[in-house]
Amino acid sequence: MQEQTSSRIVVMTAGGLNPQVMINALARHFPDLHVIREEPESKGMLLRRRAKRFGWPTALGQLATMIASRLGKSVAARRSDEIIRDHGLSAEPDPAIPVTLVPSLNDPACHVAVTMLEPAAVFTISCRILSPATLAAIPCPVINFHAGINPMYRGQMGGYWSLVERDGKNFGATVHLVDKGIDTGGTLYEKRLTPSRSDSLATYPLLMTAACVDISVRALEDAINGTLKPRQPNGISALRFPPPIWTWVYHGLTKRIW
């Protein structure tokens, strides 16, 4: 393997609380860190895509869950502040970290930006699936932070589904290489956690993000040093999606998993 001379890290994201916490933490370890931030998908576009896959009733039910899970915003906010504080992290945007704005990570503007930055590695968190053209335009390893243990909890809400399925031993996150599939690339590191009773659908991902800064740093250091060692994890592969409102309420009332 050719010796890596660059130590620049590029983070690709659609933005938000969890990515900002991770970005701030990574910047402490990698001073030459740049962010490429895309515009988030509109709720309408997301809803139509899910309706095409699941039908309108389920798609609307999933949207209702996301709205309902945020109704206790003050409770979730207190728990979020606690998680960030307990891990010694920050969610405040750092003006010292350069940010390039693009319409989409799959837009040619992103391809140009990442080519010009010449990173040692790209780190993706909370963003849309990268197209084959985008992956081809990135001249370095692409590493993703996934809030779930692969391959059993690919997709979305992995921590929630592990608890619902009485598989709490697999509540955790995975840092893995990105390929053309959805969370199917080789695993680099993973970490299992125990959520608090005050955690819920609204805070599981933040808990995983805060607790897994260390394995994210380790994977990026491996990329810089040319020592990445991906492996194929064991387990039945399953792609997860947000629960529709009736499923969320049922498990909340019967299992106290919200």
Give the model's pLDDT for residue 55.
96
Task: Tell me the residue range of the domain where 185 lies.
Answer: 9-144+175-231
Residue 3, pLDDT score: 47
Tokens 């997709």, residue located: 155
> CB of 104 within 8 A of CB of 110?
yes
What whole-number distance in Å separates Cα of residue 113 and Cα of residue 36?
8
- Matching residue, tokens 């389920």: 58
Give the integer Cα–Cα distance in Å for 173 and 149.
Answer: 5
Which residues, 6+ apart, have CB-to-CB distance to 252 below 8 Å?
Answer: 258
Q: What angle do CA 123, 125, 129 make, to 5 degrees?
A: 95
C-alpha to C-alpha distance for 76 and 71, rounded to whole angstroms: 9
Q: Could you tell me if residue 79 is inside a domain?
A: yes
Could you give the number of structural domains in the chain? 1
Domain-embedded: residue 99? yes
CA dihedral angle for residue 53, residue 58, residue 64, residue 70, rounded to 10 degrees: -60
Beta bridge mates, 146: 174
Any domain includes 199: yes
Where residue 215 sits, what CATH number does that domain have?
3.40.50.12230
Which residue positions in the chain have pLDDT lower than 70? Answer: 1-5
Q: Are 126 and 16 in contact (CB under 8 A)?
A: yes
Answer whether residue 151 is part of any domain: no
Whether 90 is in a domain gets the answer yes
Strands (E), the chain: 9-13, 33-38, 99-102, 121-125, 142-146, 154-155, 172-177, 187-192, 239-240
Q: State the pLDDT at residue 5.
A: 64
Residue 139 falls inside a structural domain: yes
Does residue 37 form part of some domain?
yes
Decide if 193 is inside a domain: yes
Question: Is the alpha carbon torsion for 142, 143, 148, 151 positive or negative?
Answer: positive
